[in-house]
Amino acid sequence: MSRYEFPENFLWGAATSAYQVEGSPLADGAGPSNWHRFCHQPGRILNGDTGDLACDHYRRFREDIALMKELGLSAYRFSIAWSRVFPEGKGRPNPRGLAHYQSLVDTLLAHGIQPMATLYHWDLPAALEDAGGWANRDSAGWFADYAHAVIRALGDEIDFWATLNEPWVVMDAGYMSGVHPPGHVSPKEAPWVSHNLLRAHALGVQAFRADGQGRIGLVVNLEPKYAATGSREDRAAAERAHAYMNRQYLDPVLRGTYPEELAEIFGPHWPRFESEDLRLIQEPIDYLGVNYYTRAVVKHDPLGGPLKVSAIPQRGAEHTEMGWEVYPQGLKDILLWVKARYGDIPLYITENGAAFADPPPADGRIDDPRRIAYYRSHLRALHEAIAEGVDVRGYFAWSLLDNFEWAYGYAKRFGLVQVDPASQQRRPKASAGFYAEVAQSNGAVLDREY
Ligand code: FCB
């Protein structure tokens, strides 16, 4: 067994997002968000769950920050709910919404925890969805106004920002499969949604350059795609899947072009984008946030939707409760790929973690050995990537708390800390103890097969 040390000043944090943990969605003058509305439509969310209460973090954030302090975390990644700041999406800001985040940030700083704020983690003001949402070209300007207002109000205290969380999910789940709001299945809208999200991101970076200090970046979810066989067809299928999920966002931001495969995938719906837009989207960023959970093994399949791809289940491999294969090597592979393709941009792992069905507490303890093993193996893969020269500067566990997992409601538990839905009692799991030791010692004993 050997100890793995991480680089000096490495950040160890945990992540959450507004709609998943806050509850009180309409408090203090907030407007309804697309997620609030979606959850209240019958049949949308497993078990009819909603974010009405969630982890009650809107009211209990002080307790949660004290918990982070006890664990020895150096950073907290959270998101700001646009509909609290602009109840109607635009127009006059709501001072009480901004005041909430001001208190959150003050409390973090008082505990020596660095705030890392994401401006958009999927909850769009419902009024803006009614105005066409991300499919409307004006959405980028709405976001820019919102970014300016937030950065002006909080920019003195927060010096670590992200514009968007996972634009791919906003597009794919919102406009291709329809399992997230607005629930459309529309390959015609989807490319415009991605494009407007990227324009919004770039304008958000510009807003930050005008009024902010520190760093701003984009958070993407990356999932390596491996061809099931060495055949030409399967390799092309893996390239298409990779272009759709990973390169669709990174290529325009970091290289100024969309992958050619997208024209093949979207066919007649693939738009001709203005070169001026592509210039804007290349606005330089300070770092890239990478969310990593799993990989996919794919083959060519003429019946596999617009991508003509289907995934091959990896029988015998370990899977989490999400049905996601546990594959730590994929984290190392994708980080090495980012470095090879885009050069030495500073990276943060902005999410990584696993859902497992936890046993009920026994003597006040919740033993979650599989979650610990997941963290351990992924941290080891991360350490290997760093040893091979990838510039990773921090890591955020997903998630601090068991929370509202979107279309799955409360059925999937990612927390280091269990939250009892009825009493709201917080109970750190064994994995919280493991992670606290990693954070406090800037390393761990990580030797273990994976
Ligand atoms: C990511 C999301 C995050 C959470 C995890 C499990 O795609 O960014 O909100 O739901 O997955």
The 10s digit of each residue's pLDDT in 334-360 is: 999 999 999 999 999 999 999 999 998
DSSP string computed for 22-85: ---TTGGGPPPBHHHHHHTSTTSSGGG--SSSTT-HHHHHHHHHHHHHHHT-SEEEEE--HHHH
* CA–CA distances in Å: residue 234 to residues 226, 230, 323, 346, 402: 9, 7, 23, 32, 38
What's residue 448's pLDDT?
A: 55
Take atom 4 of ligand 1 and give the residue whose Cα is closest. 405
Is the confidence at residue 426, as pLDDT, over 60? Answer: yes
Distance CA 253, CA 396 (A): 23
Active site residue 274: no
User: Which atom in ligand 1 lies closest to the alpha carbon of residue 414?
Assistant: 6
Query: Among 78, 320, 406, 416, which is best to mutate for testing ligand 1, by the most ligand atoms less than 8 A from CB?
Result: 406
pLDDT band at 156 (very low <50, low <70, confident <90, very high): very high
Torsion of CA 258, 259, 265, 270, to 10 degrees: 20
User: Which atom in ligand 1 lies closest to the alpha carbon of residue 17?
Assistant: 9
Q: What is the mean pLDDT of residues 253-266?
A: 98
Is the confidence at residue 364, as pLDDT, over 90? Answer: no
Per residue in 72-121, pLDDT (tens digit) is 999 999 999 999 999 999 999 999 999 999 999 999 999 999 999 999 99
* Ligand 1 geometric centre to CA of 245 (Å): 15
Helix (H) or strand (E) holding 336: helix 329-342
pLDDT band at 449 (very low <50, low <70, confident <90, very high): very low
Is the confidence at residue 2, as pLDDT, over 90? Answer: no
Per residue in 223-234, pLDDT (tens digit) is 999 999 999 999
Structure-block tokens of residue 143: 């976001």
What's residue 11's pLDDT?
A: 98
Take atom 10 of ligand 1 and give the residue whose Cα is closest. 405
Per residue in 158-214, pLDDT (tens digit) is 999 999 999 999 999 999 999 999 999 999 999 999 999 999 999 999 999 999 999
Per residue in 276-297, pLDDT (tens digit) is 999 999 999 999 999 999 999 9
Per residue in 32-63, pLDDT (tens digit) is 999 999 999 999 999 999 999 999 999 999 99
